[in-house]
Chain A
Amino acid sequence: MEKSVHDVAIVGAGLAGLRAAVAAAEMNSKLNIAVISKHHPLRSHSVCAQGGTGAVMREKDSFELHAYDTVKGADFLADQDAVELFVKRAPNEIVLTEHWGCPWSRTAEGRIDQRAFGGHSFPRACFAADMTGFHEMHAIYGKATSYGKLKFYDEWFVTSLIVEGNKATGLVAIDLKTGVLRAIAAKAVIMATGGHERIYEFTTFSHSTTGDGMVMAYRAGAPLQDMEFVQFHPTGLVPSGVLITEGARGEGGYLLNANGERFMKRYAPEKMELAPRDVVSRAEQTEINEGRGLQGPYGPYIAIDLRHLGEEKINERLPLIRDVAIKLGGVDPVKEPIPIRPAAHYSMGGIKVNMRAEALVAGLYAAGECSCVSVHGANRLGTNSTAECLVFGAVAGEEAAKYASTAAQSGLPEERLRAEEQKIQDLIDRKGDEKVPAIRDEMRRVMNEKAWIYRSGEGLETALKEVRKLRERFKSVEFEDKSKPFNTALVNVLQLDFMLELAEVTAVTALARTESRGAHSRLDHPKRDDQNWLKHSLVYYTKEGPRLEYAPVTITKWTPVARTY
């Protein structure tokens, strides 16, 4: 297998991956850095981030407030030392992206403007209209192209992380253009591959974000943390699930049920539509479950009404939302409410890392949605994900660069590479009567039905059983396309393998947590249980299936209190 050698290899080129690349290059200009992505960096899911990036930018706001909002939003499962670091580093990230060219929306005085967001006690979402992630991505990608020692491997699909003696030593990837398997040796590897919400049917996720890095790290021995916590975004456009930004409510949009009632007054009388996402999504689901949803050809839904904002404000602050609603939802929000319902949106869990973005495998780092620091605990606040990508992307880049500046290159054992080659070849040669789309769609249906907003022990047990059956069936998956160049049928098989693993992990951890906290709502255990469950779940890969462990939550300043909005 042809090998290339780098000091730092970054898998994934969304916000976290690109930010890590820039940070590593700035930290040590001598380092050879590889950015490996299964599509071109600008196709990454981060470009779909819309509403804003949270950071303290005004004197009236404070780190203390941002940190507490985040901790409370997290239902006290966040590690508070990490949250404190996070809020302190966020403003500098806004300034840096600004200096690289990000076209932030501005106040009349020319300062970066900020809008209100759910669960935040101060309007601290810096935004570039409703295309924040898109503009941040283009600014950072532009900057990243300025470093001579930074090499992009676009459209390379990483299949495995190589770990030898609990030390990350490199990766194996398919160069999609040729279909040839290649090895990349690296002293440090940063995973930045995003979340896993494509395991659900109704999701805001891009088709291609399938949780690859989480699984590669997990199978290589790094535990995943808090995987039961999946965020459901209150406003996924019906029928596609495409995101309608929380900024639409931040700008004053109303949520209405079939009676035309702003039902949030019954769930969060103070914050109304701007309660945190778990609260709003539960409210919507309750309205739907109790028969107060609007009826449409795709089943019951909720309406988000922006008409009172007026055409001018919608065009200036929410232009993408208007365009998307017209093109994909068939409604013009200037004239009609937009049909929405909760959609799987974000993984609070991920590869367990500490505040230096180090996973529990030497030389392995993770940042962004595929990681779990944990800043978001049991429920992430809107605007904190892009902020986390920037802050901990930078941290991961810096730390990996420091490590790689002194560590030695370990090399990749031939037999390990041959085994990987064989594994891929076996998948290609496999005969059987199962197909990828059938198993994939069944997995998504099961997760939607049994591991959705409201969960129960019984439902999760069924989900787990079903997913394990699907994993069995996956062993008989056969596909037709045997050609080498750009074999997306093979990519789909590999992605399904990753997703099935994560569906199982999600079901296992959700079944084990017999309490309701943040986004994890158990009908059979409706109360938060700090006595027994104020702890992170850690899941380790074993041949027999996921092994669970638990770890304490770091509490520095804020002891848990009842969470009302």
Chain B
Amino acid sequence: MTLSVEKTVELRIERFDPEKKRSYLSTFEVPIRKGTTLLDALMYVKDNLDDSLTFRHSCRMGICGSCAVNVNGKPMLACYTQVLDLQADSLLIEPVATFPVIKDLVVDIEPFFETYKRMKFYLLKPEQDLKTPAELLQSPAELKKFWDLALCIKCSICNSACPAAIDERFLGPSALTASFRFVSDSRDQGCPERLKPMADNIWLCTQCNSCTLFCPKSIQCADAIVDDHGLLVEAGAIPKTVKDVLESVYKFHNPMGTPQAKRMDWATGLNVKTYPETTKTDVLFFVCCSNVYDLRNQEVARLMVGVFERMGLSFATLGAEEWCCGDHMLRLG
């Protein structure tokens, strides 16, 4: 028994023929019922329309991590996506980004797992502790600290969505999250060892949050990377560029290392009131170090003044008393 067809959806699938080294687009019409997943739709094509369409799949319940594809530019698990939920009559299906394509929707995941193998994703502890025939104790609260991070199914969506992952040195959100999962496991004693492989490349992460946004298991990967940063800062294992930024904030109250006296230079020629001369205003304009000191960004701040003036709002800035808001400090750990 089956449900009636709700609608027909056009799948435009980005294909790759490895023998002819040819990319091409195939279009298929697929009947969609309530409950039809994107994986069901792909399987319908393979069974009925074109047996050469190639994609990975297995568990069809969002736990094996095989079937990540890009749908209208966004990565998702085919088996965990209801076609009707996409609310579209036509879908562009592509292999996930960043990875080399083997055939059609199948990408090469070997490098992804080679990184994984290097990272020692098992408990690190002195040998004699692991020889004990009894379980290691762990309270529910201690388990909770890393449980969510342990839900990663290694589907590689985070890496495919990560702009930094195009740099081969970068270990990627998945591996960096897994590292922090072990560091936050009360049973693990491998922290210093775990930090080594990431120390010189984790800073490629710009905290754009794309990994977290697309994770099908809602894992806070980007936060885990910040936590890794924090561990590296604590351990003093940070590159000079990062150290310079942190020290600048400490010494000059801004990450650029520019004297605070130049804080209002951007407003030269404009009528901008500042603290402490002005202590009462409708709008307090927090300009931000990057708009204050970066020559290109200064234009943003200047235009903002124009906006306030056109709206007839009274506004003021903190003047030389405006310090770094701390966002960079937080994101660098």
Q: B57: nearest residue on chain A (CB-CB)?
A: A207
A-B contact pairs, 11 of them (CB 8 A): A39-B56, A103-B150, A110-B138, A145-B121, A145-B122, A207-B60, A208-B58, A240-B61, A320-B63, A328-B37, A436-B47
Residues of chain A within 8 A (CB-CB) of B116 are 145
A479 to B56, CA, bound (A): 19
Q: How far is the CB of A214 from chain B (nearest CB, A)?
A: 18
A327 to B138, CA, bound (A): 32
> Per-residue 0/1 for A84-119: is the Cβ within 8 Å of any B Cβ (1 yes, 0 no)?
000000001011001111011111111110000000
Q: Enumerate the 7 nearest inter-chain pairs by beta-carbon distance, A residue then B residue, closest first.
A: A481-B52, A110-B137, A142-B121, A437-B47, A142-B122, A489-B51, A486-B103
A39 to B143, CA, bound (A): 30
A330 to B34, CA, bound (A): 9
Pick from B35, B122, B146, B154: contact of A330, CB below 8 A: B35
Q: B122, A100: Cβ atoms under 8 Å?
A: yes
Residues of chain A within 8 A (CB-CB) of B201 are none
Q: B154, A42: Cβ atoms under 8 Å?
A: yes
Cβ of A322 under 8 Å from chain B: no
Q: B59, A45: Cβ atoms under 8 Å?
A: yes
Q: How far is the CB of A266 from chain B (nearest CB, A)?
A: 27
Q: A99, B63: Cβ atoms under 8 Å?
A: no
Pick from B47, B61, B133: contact of A324, CB below 8 A: B61
Give the residues from 124 to 150 in chain B that come closer than 8 angstroms, CB to CB, to chain A. Answer: 125, 130, 133-140, 142-143, 146-147, 150
Cβ of A332 under 8 Å from chain B: no
Q: A135: nearest residue on chain B (CB-CB)?
A: B150
Q: Is the interface of B mostly helix, strand, loop or mixed?
A: loop
Give the residues from 41 to 70 in chain B that come closer than 8 angstroms, CB to CB, to chain A. Answer: 46-48, 50-52, 54-66
Stretch of B105-113, B161-169, B238-246 on the interface side: B105-113
Q: B52, A485: Cβ atoms under 8 Å?
A: no
Residues of chain B within 8 A (CB-CB) of A328 are 35, 37, 61, 80
> Per-residue 0/1 for A474-514: is the Cβ within 8 Å of any B Cβ (1 yes, 0 no)?
00000111011111110010000000000000000000000
- CB contact under 8 A between A39 and B120, given known A103-B146, A299-B1: no
Q: B130: nearest residue on chain A (CB-CB)?
A: A99
A327 to B59, CA, bound (A): 14
Q: A206, B52: Cβ atoms under 8 Å?
A: no
Q: How far is the CB of A464 from chain B (nearest CB, A)?
A: 26
Q: A108, B140: Cβ atoms under 8 Å?
A: yes
Cβ of B123 under 8 Å from chain A: yes
- CB contact under 8 A between A131 and B122, given known A320-B63, A327-B62: no
Q: A206, B58: Cβ atoms under 8 Å?
A: yes
Q: How far is the CB of A54 from chain B (nearest CB, A)?
A: 16
Residues of chain A within 8 A (CB-CB) of B59 are 43, 45, 47-48, 206-207
A320 to B64, CA, bound (A): 13
- CB contact under 8 A between A110 and B103, given known A142-B121, A145-B117, A207-B58: no
Q: How far is the CB of A17 from chain B (nearest CB, A)?
A: 15
Cβ of A44 under 8 Å from chain B: yes
Q: How far is the CB of A390 from chain B (nearest CB, A)?
A: 15
A40 to B153, CA, bound (A): 12
A139 to B218, CA, bound (A): 21
- CB contact under 8 A between A240 and B102, given known A101-B185, A143-B122: no
- CB contact under 8 A between A98 and B63, given known A177-B102, A436-B51: no
Residues of chain B within 8 A (CB-CB) of A108 are 139-140
Cβ of A532 under 8 Å from chain B: no
Residues of chain B within 8 A (CB-CB) of A480 are 50-52
Residues of chain A within 8 A (CB-CB) of B102 are 177, 485-486
